[in-house]
Amino acid sequence: MIAGQTFQHLLGVPANKQIRDFQDFQGTLFGHSGWVQSAAFSPDGTKIVSASDDGTVHIWDVQSGTQIGEPLRGHSDGVQSAAFSLDGTKIVSASYNETVHIWDVQFGTQIGEPLTGHSGRVQSAAFSPDDTKIVSASYDHTVRIWNVQSGTQIGEPLRGHSNGVQSAVFSPDGTKIVSASDDGTVRIWDVQSGTQIGEPLTGHSDEVHSAAFSPDGTKIVSASLDHTVRIWDVQSGTQIGESLRGHTGWVQSAAFSPDGTKIVSASNDHTVRIWNVQSETQIGESLRGHTGWVRSAAFSPDGTKIVSASDDGTVRIWDVQSGTQIGEPLRGHSSGIQSAAFSPDSTKIVSTSARSTVHIWNFPSRTQTVEPLRGHSDWVPSAAFSPDGTKIVSAAVDCTVRIWDVQSGTQIGEPLRGHRDGVRSTAFSPDGTKIISASYDHTVRIWDVQSGTQIGEPLRGRTGWVRSAAFSPDGTKIISASLDHTVRIWNVQSGIQIGEPLRGHSNGVQSAAFSPDGTKIVSASFDKTICIWNAQSGTQIGKTLRGHSDGVQSAAFSLDGTKVVSASYDETVHIWDVQSGTQIGKPLKGHAGWVQSAAFSPDGTKIVSASNDHTVRIWDVQSGTNSSASIGIASDLTESSIYSDSHNYVCFPFTFMFVPFQIISLPNLELSNLARY
C-alpha cells in the first residue's frame, strides 16, 4: 500500500478515495461499524494479523500502523480468527463458512485448497509449534487436526464436548491440545492418540470462550462468559488459586505473557485487563479506548505490547508498562448494519448492511418481510422509504443508487449510475418524484424516479466528501453537508448553488437538516459544535451551540422548530433551545458508546437515540429521563429478528428515526442479551 492510501484504507473506505484534509478524520470512524474478531502478532513482533466478520484477513505493520498489501480474500463469510505460523511465513484463518484457509504472508495468496470437514462454523485455528499441523475448533462440537503440507485431516475428530468448541491451541511442545467450549468445560487432548487426557476442567458457570497454555506448558488460562478468568494446573487438572475477577461483562479471551508472569484478558465490558499470575491481582488500571466488545487480546513476543481486537472495528496496540494506547487504532474492517429507518406508516423498517444487502422488516414483530435485497456489490451506507412507503432507495459504495419495490423486494429498473465514487446518502423528495444522492466524489445528484435518469448536471462546489443531503420541506431546495467544513444550499430546479457556502465549522460537517418550516438549517460537526443558520440569508443565527466534548454526529429540529436534539461521540444526547441557543437541562446520559443519531417524536415529547452500544433509547423531553419504565420493556432484538445473514451476530442499526406521519410509542430497545458468539 502506498502512503497516500494508508489512512483512508484504515478508515474502511474505498482505495480510490482521495483524502485532502487529514484533520477531518482524526478520532473518527467513517462508515465503519465493523467487528474485528481477533488480532495477533507475528513471531518477530513486526506484523499483526486481524480477522473480521467482513470476510477478510488484514496484515499490518506494527511500527507504522499501515496495512501491508491487500486484504486476504477468499472466505465467503466472516472470519473468526487468524494466526501466524511460528516461522512467520504463513497465516491460518478460520471462518463461519466451515472452512480453514492457509495463506502466504509474502504474496498475500491462498496456499492450496480450503481445509474442509467441519459441519459447523470454525471458531479458531492455530499452527503447531513446528508448523507441520493445524488445530481447528468448531461449532460442530469437534476439534480437528490437519496436515499443513497435504491439507488433509489427521486421524478422527476429537470428540467429547457437548456443545460448540470456541478455541483450541497446541501446547508449547506440540504434544497436547487444550480446547474451550460452550459446554462450560476446558479439555486437554493427546495429539498423537487423539484421546482426552484426564477429566474435563470444570468450575466455570457459563460458556468458556478461550483457553491457552502458559509458555512452559504447566498451566492453562481460561476465559468465560461468567465474567472470570481462571488458571489451571495441567498435570492435576485442578484450579490454581482464586478466579480473577474484575470484568463486568463476558470475558472473551485470555492469554499468558511470553514470560508467563502476566495474563491479558479481553471483555465485552469494552476493556482489556492485565493480571499478575502469582498474586492473582489486576496490574494497574483497565486499558480503555474501545467503544465495543473486545473480542481478543494478546501480548507481543517481547511482552512489551498488547494487541486487542474489537467490535468497534479497530485493532489497538497498548504499552504494557504504562497501560496507554500506542498511536492511532488500526482501522480497516467494515461490517454490521449501517442504517435503518421507518416506513411512513411505521409498520416496516429498512436496514442496510456492510455485506452489500438491504433488509426490510415488519415492525413491531421484527420479522423479515422478504429475502434481503441483493444487487449492490459493496457496503450500503444508506436507505430510505418513499413518502408513500411503496419504494426504497439505497446508496452504496459501489457508486450506484438503486430503487426497490417494497412488496416484492425486487429492483425497479436499472441502477442509477453517474457517481464516480461511493454514494454516502440518499433520500426521496417530499412528493416522491425525485431522489437525491450525496457521494465521496464531492457531488450531489438529482434523479427522476420514474425514468431513472439524472436530472441536470451534478451539483458541484465541494472540495471534500459529501456526507449528507436532504430536500427542504417544500422540495424546492437541497442542503448538503461536507467534510470540507461547509454546508451548501441548492436550487432544485436550476441546480445552482444559492448564495455562498455556510461557513463557521472548523472541521467536517456530518449532517445538516432543515427546520419543519424551511426557514432554518441545523448542522452538526466533528468540531464538537452545532450551528443554526438562516436558510434565506445563509447567516448564522445566534451563537454556536457548545457543550459536547467530542464530535457531533447528528442534529435535528423538533416538529415545532423550537428545539434541537444532538447526538455525539461523547456518548450523550443534548437538547437545545433554538431561540436562546442554550442547552435545556442536563445531557441525556445512559449510552455506553457513541451516539450516532437522535430525533424527536412527532409530538415533541420524546427523543429516540441510537448508539453503537447496540441500544436504542427513548427519553422524556421534559424530565430528561429514560422513559422505558413508563412505556415498558420490549423483548430483545435477536439475530432471528433483526439480522438474517448466515452467522449469528447482531448489530443494531446506527441510525433510528421517528417519522412525522404517525405518533408512535416505542419501548426502550436494549440488546442486553445479544447472540453470544
- DSSP assignment of 99-166, as one string? EEEEEETTTTEE-SS-EE--SS-EEEEEE-TTSSEEEEEETTSEEEEEETTT--B-SS-EE--SS-EE
Cell 448564522 found at? 540
What is residue 335's predicted lDDT score, i.e. its pLDDT? Answer: 45
At the top level of CATH, the class of 34-331 is mainly beta
- Beta bridge partners, 340, equal 351
List the grid coordinates of 662: 404517525
Question: What would the pLDDT profile of 500-538 be if each residue is shown by its tens digit?
Answer: 999 999 999 988 999 999 999 999 999 999 999 999 899
The backbone region for 581, taken as left when phi is positive above 0, alpha when psi lies in -120 to 50, beta otherwise, is: left
pLDDT along the chain (677 residues), means of 10: 29 32 27 62 90 86 81 87 95 95 94 94 96 96 96 96 96 97 96 96 96 96 96 96 95 95 95 95 93 88 88 83 80 47 67 72 65 86 86 93 94 94 90 94 94 92 81 93 92 91 92 93 95 93 94 90 93 94 91 78 74 67 63 26 28 33 31 27
What is residue 661's predicted lDDT score, i.e. its pLDDT? Answer: 30
What is residue 17's predicted lDDT score, i.e. its pLDDT? Answer: 32
State whether the Cα torsion 59-62-66-69 is positive or negative. Answer: negative
CA distance 382 to 393: 8
What is residue 365's predicted lDDT score, i.e. its pLDDT? Answer: 57
What is residue 626's predicted lDDT score, i.e. its pLDDT? Answer: 66
* 3-state class (DSSP) for residue 628: helix
Contact criterion met (CB below 8 Å) for 21 and 484 = yes
Cell 433483526 found at? 642
* 3-state class (DSSP) for residue 24: helix
CA distance 361 to 353: 13
CA–centroid distance for 83 within its chain: 22
What is residue 164's predicted lDDT score, i.e. its pLDDT? Answer: 95
* 3-state class (DSSP) for residue 10: helix
Which residue, 434, 390, 433, is CA-closest to 410?
390
Phi then psi dihedrals of residue 452, to 5 deg:
75, 15
Cell 508449547 found at? 172
List the grid coordinates of 25: 478524520
Looking at the chain, the number of H-run helices and the number of E-run strands are 3, 55
Strand-strand pairing, 133-138 and 142-147: antiparallel
Query: pTM, whole model, 2 decimals?
Result: 0.51
- Beta bridge partners, 486, equal 503
CA distance 154 to 144: 8
What is residue 476's predicted lDDT score, i.e. its pLDDT? Answer: 95
CA distance 515 to 309: 41
Reported in sequence order, the residue ranges of 320-420 that DSSP labels E, i.e. its strands, are 330-331, 337-342, 348-353, 358-362, 382-385, 391-395, 400-405, 416-417
CA distance 320 to 299: 9
